[in-house]
Amino acid sequence: MSRADILEAIKKNKPQSLSLPDLSVFQHEISPEILVADFIKTSTGNMSNVVDLTTSEVDLSVFLEEFIAENFPKATKFYDTRSSGKEIPENVDFQENIDLFIAEPKLGVAENGCLWLDEGILKHRVAPFACQHTLMVIDHHNIVPTMHQAYQILNINETGYGVFIAGPSKTADIEQSLVIGAQGAVSNTVILI
Amino acid sequence: MSTHSEKAAAFIKDEARTNWHDGALWHVREKRDAAASLLPEWELLRNTASHIKDNVLANLDDYLIQFEAEAKKNGVVVHWAKDGKEHNQIVGQILQRSNAKKVVKSKSMLTEECKLNDFLEENDIEIIDTDLGERIIQMRKEEPSHVVLPAIHIKKEEVGELFHKELGTEEGNSDPTYLTKAARTHLRQRFFEADAAITGVNFGIAETGGVVVCTNEGNADMGCHSAAVQIHSMGIEKLLPKAEHLGVFTRLLARSATGQPTTIYTSHFQKPQKGKEMHIVIVDNGRSEQLGKEDFRNSLKCIRCGACMNTCPIYRRSGGHSYHATIPGPIGAILSPNRDLKKYSDLPFASTLCGSCSDVCPVKIDIHEQLYKWRQEIYKHHELPKSKSIPLRITGKIFENPSIFNSVGKIARSSLKHLPRFMVYNNLNGWGKQRELPEVPEYSFKEWYKKQKDE
């Protein structure tokens, strides 16, 4: 049986054990202003559209309504996972083009623009990939400096699936030319509140 | 089977294309440098990653057992395959049991290594590679030439022509955006039709029993979430002890690979979707044997970022296919001889031993040192080609005897200067191919040194 054979071979061949290194060396204390600035820079670099509302005093729901009407005028089908959004039905046909996916990620990462969504938020795992555009609303208090802090805070095993999304789908597979919207969402908007 | 140097010679015949290939990869290397330099703790990250992998390799059996137990708790079906053949059989059985006829795959070098596509096609199962670069080479009936940039050797005009034929795009249109959009439409249909999805695994987590898959296109997710059955093929060495270790490796992977701060999607698959199946196939295929070779076990730390390929002066100018192995470039040249020393005895020589590969490796594999060690192994096992073994034997004798060394030097200096061209530049002198030999000095170093001292 292969399982026993493989484990036996490893046992015979493995080197002497070494202890795991200390990860606390990667702790960074970074001021909230710099975190926000870094997050905007990396997200923009990943080709996300970023709207910074951290210092403005607009009513978010009013703002979003106007923003969506202005930026996605043709959007008719929405997949809104926010608590204020509409109830998501059990069966959604993702083959029909869904125009806009809206979510509130649990956490953002300043060093690379990653935003964490898990199955609890998503309802349907395929949603942020199958929808044409994604719109993420993230509270700037939930931005951490690096991936180390992100994994400290998250419990990746909390649901069956979780994903860091850092921008729209992209590829450079044809002669290294960057093309946005390769397979998943063709645009990603981040609203920073 | 032709060797690396023969295949490379064919590749470099087209000088403009060679220069283009060289430049494209060097550009990626430069992006990697820029990304790495933005992190002050870059070297600390590399060291830490290497140490974590040391710990993983030293406890691999325990971590695999833990991983399996946790995965099972999550409702995942775990399989073990000792080699590529068993891997393919297991995948075939899963597909047969669920009556799957249409399969989508996201990029996985392991399934390439196992030749899964050929196996499934022989068994009348349609398998579509969904990574754009892989789809292109699948349509061309080729193998990937790079682990991260599988179609780096192909020009956009060639893709335009291919898509015109296969997908009905406009003739003569080779605009990357236009072609990518066409592929998007083509692939979306395949995702929604698929009965099963197969992916590789970037990281498996012993603590949680889950797997992490990194893509820029989102194709792994489109496939896994759409199909009723998802299968992840994972090499035994892909494990990390805990979720917190992902922090180290996700920071290194994309920066080393393409200079991006992260891949756009970093997906963590833990449990099957409601009413669907999730399988993980754990594959050995020679890895446990490599673990037992002290000189070469470090190669199992590899996270397949491709940084060593982008920086290698030989790879950049000879192309991935010249390595006639699934994993090309410097890392492939130390992994392949483990699998078949005779077949791949040429690969450790496809290097200048400049050490650039080791310098960029995010997990600090001593790649160029292992290449040098493989050369000695190959010599010991009499696998050196005659073109190398005979000259080496002769030079060995010359170096052993100072008086012969001195006189041979003298003869060489005068004959290189005076002999007619055809006697110096011929098939016996590999160094004279495609280049002029340097001008011969008046004296040997020894003579020059003596003269300096006397003056």
For position A108, what pLDDT does the model report? Answer: 98
For position B427, what pLDDT does the model report? Answer: 78
The one-letter amino acid at B246: L
H/E segment holding residue B240: strand B239-240
**Chain B closest CA to A67's CA: distance in Å?**
24
Which whole-number Å values give the CA distances from B179 to B51, B156, B163, B187, B189, in the listed order?
43, 9, 7, 12, 16
For position B442, what pLDDT does the model report? Answer: 82
**Chain A closest CA to B21's CA: distance in Å?**
10
Comparing B428 with A95, which gets the higher pLDDT? A95
The model's confidence at residue B1, banded by pLDDT at 50, 70 and 90, is low
For position B424, what pLDDT does the model report? Answer: 79
CATH H-level superfamily of B294-384 = Alpha-helical ferredoxin (1.10.1060.10)
CA B71 to chain centre: 28
**Cβ proximity of A52 and A63 under 8 Å:** no
Report domain extents, chain B.
39-285, 294-384, 388-454
Pairing of strands B102-105, B203-205: unpaired
A126/B80 Cβ within 8 A: no
Helix orientation angle between B246-257 and B15-37, rounded to the nearest 10 degrees: 140
Give the chain B residue whose CA is nearest to the CA of A96. B192
**Cβ proximity of B215 and B124 under 8 Å:** no
A11/B264 Cβ within 8 A: no
Give the chain A residue whose CA is nearest to the CA of B273. A160
**Chain B closest CA to A11's CA: distance in Å?**
6
How do the residues of chain A divide into helix, strand and coil, expressed in percent and rounded to 5? Answer: 30, 20, 50
Picking from A146-160, B273-287, B388-402, which range would have the lowest pLDDT averaged per residue? B388-402
Task: Decide if pLDDT at B154 tops 80.
Answer: yes
A129 vs B contacts (CB less than 8 Å)? 218, 221-222, 225, 265
Find, among A23, A50, A11, A26, the residue nearest to A140 by Cα. Answer: A50
Give the chain A residue whose CA is nearest to the CA of B298. A15
> What is the rounded average pLDDT for all residues in chain A?
94
B59/A17 Cβ within 8 A: yes
pLDDT in tens, B209-258: 999 999 999 999 999 999 999 999 999 999 999 999 999 999 999 999 99
* CATH (residue range B39-285): 3.40.50.10420
Could you please report the per-residue DSSP string of A19-83?
PPPP-GGG-----HHHHHHHHHHHHHHTT-EEEE-TT----HHHHHHHHHHHH-TT---EEE-ST
> What is the rounded average pLDDT for all residues in chain B?
94
Task: Decide if pLDDT at B433 tops 90.
Answer: no
B151 vs A contacts (CB less than 8 Å)? 173-174
**CA–CA dist B97, B318 (Å, integer):** 44
Find, among A164, A161, A167, A165, the residue nearest to A120 by Cα. Answer: A161
A161/B267 Cβ within 8 A: yes
Residue written as token pair 């789809």 = B135
CA B169 to chain centre: 32
